[in-house]
Structure 1
Amino acid sequence: MADCDGESPVIEPSLVRQNQPQTESRYLNGQCVWTIRSGSIINPGFDLAQCRSQLELNGFQIPESDLEAPLKTALDVPSVKRYIVFNSSMFHFLMAPVLYLVLWCAVFSSLHSYLTVTDYWVLCLCVSLVSIFLTTAIIFTLHHSNKEINMNLDVRLIAVNERLVKHKLLVAVADWVENCTSNLQLYFVYWDVSRCLRALTESLDEGNYEAQNIQKKLQKSMSYLVLVGEAPQTPSDTGTSHTDTQEDDVEQGADEHRPLLQNEEQERSTSSGQRGAAHQLTTNYSLVPDPALPAQARAQQLLMAYSALYIKLLVSERLSGPSHYRMRPKRNHCTTACICLCQYIRTKVVR
């Protein structure tokens, strides 16, 4: 896996202050500046205060509003933590033998009910082969899905990278199993996005016909990237509820002499609140760049949308492409990988 400066022996802060502090100019695109491991497998979390102090020692002066606050919003959520646990490589590693046993029992009971076999070792051998094949297929599918953009994790880190890119850093969460132990880590990778932005802008800034083809390809590749959020309600949206309230008032006035008037009013107010919650509007936000925007703005959106996924594949060495340096594509802006961020987007998204 990728080596990081954070994994080197810890240097005393006093010694660092005596010498010249490390500056970001010494880094190249794709170099890992700092990494921190999750404190627990069951309840994943990261010491963000330590991250900021270590990044300061490495020459990155990042305010809390650009680092800790957005990372807490993105990762420090119970539902996100549960997703990280159940989608981690360690969970898949532990799930493989359990899945094999379940499949073996299911296949054996099914075949034993419909087939009459005298030699049970032949039946057991066939069941074992089928179970191994099914288990391998399921694990391979889960492993392949980790190479695609993750709506529950990678997309949540878009807002974080939009802030950190100003400091020439990109962040991602990556994990793998090594020596039967989980390595769930938060990576901070140096990345100057200016050259990738310029190259991707040139690719998107084509003629009208070519621009339409690129937009169709983006729609096809990113159509499933849709976020659901609450829409702000306007007075026109609540007009129906106002009418219902007025009708309720009229009914209350007609029945004002009933003995249980107070209880009925409480029931009506409760039902009115339920109707208001039921009428709460939601809207879908697509990550596909608007074709009306300038080419540079669309390129910026694409770079941020796939930044966390690219960094995750980079640090875990799962980027596909030519391995030899001389065979690397031209205009590669990354010195530690076969392709850079803009080339990955052109290859995987724009095609």
Structure 2
Amino acid sequence: MPCDALRNVQGGIPDPLKTHRGDRCSSKNPCSWLLWALAEPLNGQVLMVLNMDNNCSATSFDMELCAEKLKSVGVQVAADRWRRLIQDAVLKPEVRRYMFYNSRAFQIAIAVVFYVSLWTNIYSTVQLCSFGRYWEASVLVTLAAVAVTIVVILVMDRRQRKINMNTDVRLAAVNEIFIKHGLILGITDALDGAHNILQLWFVHFSPERCLQSLSAHITDMQRTRESGLRHSLDQLCVVMEEVVRPDPGREEEASCEESPLLSSGVNLNKEPVTCNELLHLVPEGPPEVMAQQLLVIFSGCYVRLLVTGQLPRAMAGGHMEHSSVPCLCQFIEITTLNTHQSWFMGR
């Protein structure tokens, strides 16, 4: 499990979670693993982890226990509000299926099937040649299949390091509420035997200094590299399917003209006409508003990479005390506002 000791995610910060740990999540107890820092938390400190067995559609996160723990640390948020947002974000059946098909377990299975299929195809092709009868040919086929499979695994690993619209960005609405209380949320998956476990992470993060720094950086880019800023932000977009609503007068006229002379008794339900609309996640506005929107959008991706130890190297002058990883505003500047590199992954 990736939470075992968190692989020193805090970069030297004394982590009370390692010595004050609750019951570990298992397939029989999928929602019981809660971690709480007893001292004053620092930026990047994991406060709580909720677990859920993704193999069983009947399971869910223990929201009642989560609400009690949030109240115990002074986070006063209407429970009905964030419960609904989490339900819409990650607990819908289609989202859970997507997360399963993008889980580590499924990727391992795909890698194994890919290796076997590739080895079989290459070996069958080599057998058609004269040198394919020697044992050296089998060794070369194995090495080639292993090399190509490793490349595929590395590509999938690199893909996992990018922001994912279907999971990370879906948590933006929840993070917009919790970031005001010094919390940001992210979701990961882990293996527990044959079970795929979803983990919802609650991480302490005070956004004030990141908001000021990111606002200043956006202001500077608007003054010196406005086209580069717009190019970077234009990549942060989603395609929304909208139902085309015709004009009521024309619809009534069309329905009269198209009505049959004789009633057939059959009610044909026409599917609604839809069109795709491009929605920019960070529209033009004051630097403070744009910075706030970026912090909210990237919070889920930041937490996911933080707890799995996949964040890039930190730059000097960050807001993560005694840590070797970048703060949230540095992460956004490195991965998004850098015009030479894009980390955004759409559908």
**Same fold, judged at TM 0.5 (above):** yes
When residues 178 and 7 of structure 1 are mapped into structure 2, their CA distance, relative to the original with a 3 A threshold, is farther
- 8 Å CA contact 2:75–2:181 kept in 1: the answer is yes
47-56 or 175-184: which moved more?
A: 175-184
Q: CA RMSD in A?
A: 3.0
Instruction: From 246, 251, 272, give the equivalent of 1:241.
Output: 251
63-72 or 141-150: which moved more?
A: 63-72
Instruction: From 320, 338, 348, give the equivalent of 2:325.
Output: 338
- 8 Å CA contact 1:23–1:59 kept in 2: the answer is no
Instruction: From 204, 223, 228, give the equivalent of 2:240.
Output: 228
Tell which structure's C-alpha radius of gyration is larger: 1
- 8 Å CA contact 1:195–1:333 kept in 2: the answer is no
210-219 or 148-157: which moved more?
A: 210-219
For 1:179 and 1:280, locate their aligned partners in 2 and report how far apart those are by CA, in whole Å.
43
Read off the aligned partner of 1:65 and give its amino acid letter.
D
Deviations 1:216-263 (Å, cap 9, x if unpaired)?
3424xx526313142573x63x554322112135x63xxxxxxxx332
Gap runs ≥5 in structure 1: 12-21, 253-260, 323-327
Please report how far the alpha carbon of residue 26 of structure 1 lies from its aligned counterpart in structure 2 after TM superposition.
1.8
The equivalent of 1:71 in structure 2 is: 86
199-208 or 163-172: which moved more?
A: 199-208
Instruction: From 283, 291, 299, give the equivalent of 1:290.
Output: 283
Please report how far the alpha carbon of residue 176 of structure 1 lies from its aligned counterpart in structure 2 after TM superposition.
4.4
Please report how far the alpha carbon of residue 110 of structure 1 lies from its aligned counterpart in structure 2 after TM superposition.
2.1
For 2:114 and 2:19, locate their aligned partners in 1 and report how far apart those are by CA, in whole Å.
35
For 2:42 and 2:92, locate their aligned partners in 1 and report how far apart those are by CA, in whole Å.
33
Gap runs ≥5 in structure 2: 1-5, 10-14, 24-35, 339-347
Please report how far the alpha carbon of residue 202 of structure 1 lies from its aligned counterpart in structure 2 after TM superposition.
0.8
For 2:255 and 2:66, locate their aligned partners in 1 and report how far apart those are by CA, in whole Å.
53
When residues 231 and 180 of structure 1 are mapped into structure 2, their CA distance, relative to the original with a 3 A threshold, is closer
- 8 Å CA contact 1:89–1:177 kept in 2: the answer is yes
- 8 Å CA contact 2:127–2:133 kept in 1: the answer is no
Instruction: From 184, 201, 220, give the equivalent of 1:170.
Output: 184
- 8 Å CA contact 1:226–1:284 kept in 2: the answer is yes
Please report how far the alpha carbon of residue 139 of structure 1 lies from its aligned counterpart in structure 2 after TM superposition.
0.9
The equivalent of 1:132 in structure 2 is: 146
Please report how far the alpha carbon of residue 345 of structure 1 lies from its aligned counterpart in structure 2 after TM superposition.
0.8
Read off the aligned partner of 1:283 and give its amino acid letter.
E
The equivalent of 1:315 in structure 2 is: 307
Please report how far the alpha carbon of residue 143 of structure 1 lies from its aligned counterpart in structure 2 after TM superposition.
0.8
Please report how far the alpha carbon of residue 178 of structure 1 lies from its aligned counterpart in structure 2 after TM superposition.
8.0
Please report how far the alpha carbon of residue 55 of structure 1 lies from its aligned counterpart in structure 2 after TM superposition.
2.6
The equivalent of 2:48 in structure 1 is: 34
- 8 Å CA contact 2:16–2:37 kept in 1: the answer is no
When residues 77 and 345 of structure 1 are mapped into structure 2, their CA distance, relative to the original with a 3 A threshold, is same
Please report how far the alpha carbon of residue 314 of structure 1 lies from its aligned counterpart in structure 2 after TM superposition.
0.7
- The 4+ residue runs of structure 1 with deviation greater than 6 A are 22-25, 178-181
For 1:79 and 1:168, locate their aligned partners in 2 and report how far apart those are by CA, in whole Å.
30
What's the secondary structure of 1:206's corresponding residue?
A: helix
295-304 or 88-97: which moved more?
A: 88-97
For 1:179 and 1:101, locate their aligned partners in 2 and report how far apart those are by CA, in whole Å.
23
When residues 58 and 121 of structure 1 are mapped into structure 2, their CA distance, relative to the original with a 3 A threshold, is farther
For 2:83 and 2:157, locate their aligned partners in 1 and report how far apart those are by CA, in whole Å.
30
What's the secondary structure of 2:168's corresponding residue?
A: coil
Instruction: From 132, 156, 163, give the equivalent of 1:142.
Output: 156
* Higher relative strand content: 2
**Superposed counterparts of 1:1-351, under 5 Å:** 1=6, 2=9, 5=17, 8-10=20-22, 26-41=40-55, 43=57, 45-113=60-128, 115-117=129-131, 119-176=133-190, 184-206=198-220, 209-210=223-224, 212-219=226-233, 222-223=234-235, 225-230=237-242, 233=245, 236=247, 238-249=248-259, 252=261, 261-263=262-264, 266-267=265-266, 270=268, 273-274=269-270, 277-287=271-281, 289-291=282-284, 293-322=285-314, 328-333=315-320, 335-351=322-338
Read off the aligned partner of 1:285 and give its amino acid letter.
L
Report sequence identity in percent. Answer: 26
For 1:118 and 1:207, locate their aligned partners in 2 and report how far apart those are by CA, in whole Å.
60
What's the secondary structure of 2:289's corresponding residue?
A: helix
When residues 6 and 72 of structure 1 are mapped into structure 2, their CA distance, relative to the original with a 3 A threshold, is farther
Read off the aligned partner of 1:52 and give its amino acid letter.
A
What's the secondary structure of 2:292's corresponding residue?
A: helix
Deviations 1:169-205 (Å, cap 9, x if unpaired)?
1111123458897553110001111111111111112
Deviations 1:79-107 (Å, cap 9, x if unpaired)?
11111111111222333323221211111
78-87 or 46-55: which moved more?
A: 46-55
